Structure 1
Amino acid sequence: MNDELLSEVRDAALYLTINRPERRNAITPGVLQGLRDGILRANRDADIRAVVITGTGEQAFCAGADLQTGKSFAFDYAEPYLGMADLFRCTRQSTVPLIARVNGACMAGGMGLIAMCDLAIAGEGARFGLPEVKLGLFPAQVLSVLQHLVPRRTLTELCLCGEPLSAREALAAGLVNDVSDDLDGRLDLLLTRLLNNSPAAIRRGLYTLKHMETMSFEQSMAFTESQIGLFALTEDAREGQQAFREKRQPMWTGR
């Protein structure tokens, strides 16, 4: 990792923390690369069961691009793939659950970071917005991961008006799973609930969820008809059913 993106494993979770509080945890190429490297690492390490993405301090989760540099949108157009887009591609392939711990302002590109995650927990003081239109820009890449997450009219208002949502408004819109003054307490509860379940079922389940999202009904039915048989072939599936019959807690192998 690097000084801009901290990495720490706690129990079975990898914490990736944007460490630029003086710039409201704004995104840089180093932050994007660090997030991508961390997620790839988690998907290679069977001992890592979840990835938590957050920001340093209490003011901001991520304020989006660092506009103070004047270079945030100075891309090398000889390169067809951009850093943010590659991060979103990486998360699309992840079968390790990604959880956003939203500790403050979540704006512009920061909205992309929470939208690329599978789950999100926010503090009561968190704010969410797409203010790009106020700067003559538009949240183009972010829409690829955000457009199916919130209602269309909510998304359009966020994009065209640029005004933020409160944490409770974000919860009502389906942008986050929970809002609490006890952010870490709620995060720990979510992690406990997640980590109690079968690692094999979660990995293949996320694979299934992500692949069927853009399928038609008939395509998704054909796909899931094949997937359900594969779920049942895992060691975890056999152990889970046996534990149910024996009225005991399952002993997962993750296979």
Structure 2
Amino acid sequence: MTVLVGRTRARGVETLTLDSPHNRNALSAALVGELAGALADCAEDTGVRAVVLTHTGTTFSAGADLRDPPHPDALTGLLRRIVELPRPVLARVTGHVRAGGLGLLAACDLAAASTTSTFAFTEVRIGVAPAVISLPVIPRADPRALARYYLTGERFDAAEAARIGLLTVAGDDVDDVLAPVLDGLRRSSPQGLAETKRLLTARVLEAFDRDAAELTALSARLFASADAREGMTAFLERRDPPWVL
């Protein structure tokens, strides 16, 4: 069986690497399931002080796999698992992040990216909306900026992603900017980290408790719509959908 999530550990930091380069680490049903399983293992392993979520290739994640999409419930469960994990989760990005990939980024407690990374909420361009991923995104990002990027699907750079709250830090060398963060986590007690994370994620989990069922249903309805079928077909065929003026 093909392994889609690599796993390594160094000094208490478990690194989970999205490794599905053939589809730019798109969130397929298989990848979502495998990543959820790896995170569950990290939650139970007292030897894990923190988790780094990173990727192979030039794309952190291209969003939902349009050929093998995960069920909206599975994606919701994955995002909640990241938020609830009793260990800090850090995103390490050296490439591009699109659509559902930004949900992964926002679910993480901390996120660092190289200055060459780019970001976009592209859902609107294929006839859907950033529904499920809004659960971690909206509580953590600037609302005026989200209105622009949700509605237009525009690309923006790492400096802008940091300004609006989607990134903690950006730098020319992502490992240089992450080094002091990881050092601080290694110096912190597991109990202190878990309880501090609980304080920090309370608002995000309120959004899950309040809105998850509604947004999961919205995502399922939109992906089954005629607009979405046309938008996804146009994307896969590398052509404009009919609504482009």
Q: TM-score, normalised by structure 1?
A: 0.76
Residue 187 of structure 1 corresponds to 178
5+ residue gaps, structure 1: 76-80, 216-255
Check whether the contact 1:132–1:138 (CA below 8 A) recurs between aligned residues: yes
Pair 1:64-2:66 in alignment: no
Q: Give, in whole Å, the separation in 2 of the partners of 1:213 and 1:163.
A: 25
1:90 CA drift (Å): 1.5
Runs of 4+ in structure 1 over 4 Å off: 212-215
Residue 41 of structure 1 corresponds to 41
Between structure 1 and structure 2, the one with the greater Rg is: 1
1:103 CA drift (Å): 1.3
Q: Give, in whole Å, the separation in 2 of the partners of 1:207 and 1:171.
A: 23
Report Cα offsets for 1:166-198 as digits up to 9, x if no partner: 001111112111111111222222111221122
Pair 1:134-2:125 in alignment: yes
Residue 53 of structure 2 corresponds to 53
Residue 105 of structure 2 corresponds to 114
The aligned runs of 1:13-32 (5 Å cut-off) are 13-32=13-32
Check whether the contact 2:12–2:50 (CA below 8 A) recurs between aligned residues: yes
Check whether the contact 2:43–2:85 (CA below 8 A) recurs between aligned residues: yes
Q: Give, in whole Å, the separation in 1 of the partners of 2:139 and 2:63.
A: 20
Check whether the contact 2:83–2:108 (CA below 8 A) recurs between aligned residues: no
Aligned residues: CA RMSD: 1.8
Residue 11 of structure 2 corresponds to 11
Check whether the contact 1:27–1:65 (CA below 8 A) recurs between aligned residues: yes
Q: Give, in whole Å, the separation in 2 of the partners of 1:29 and 1:184.
A: 30
- Higher relative CO (CA 8 A, sep ≥ 6), structure 1 or 2? 2
The aligned runs of 1:202-217 (5 Å cut-off) are 202-211=193-202
Cα gap change, 1:213/1:65 in structure 2, threshold over 3 Å: closer, same or farther? closer
1:212 CA drift (Å): 5.4
Q: TM-score, normalised by structure 2?
A: 0.79
Letter of the structure 2 residue corresponding to residue 62 of structure 1: S
Q: Give, in whole Å, the separation in 2 of the partners of 1:93 and 1:184.
A: 25
Q: Give, in whole Å, the separation in 2 of the partners of 1:106 and 1:27.
A: 12
Check whether the contact 2:29–2:69 (CA below 8 A) recurs between aligned residues: no
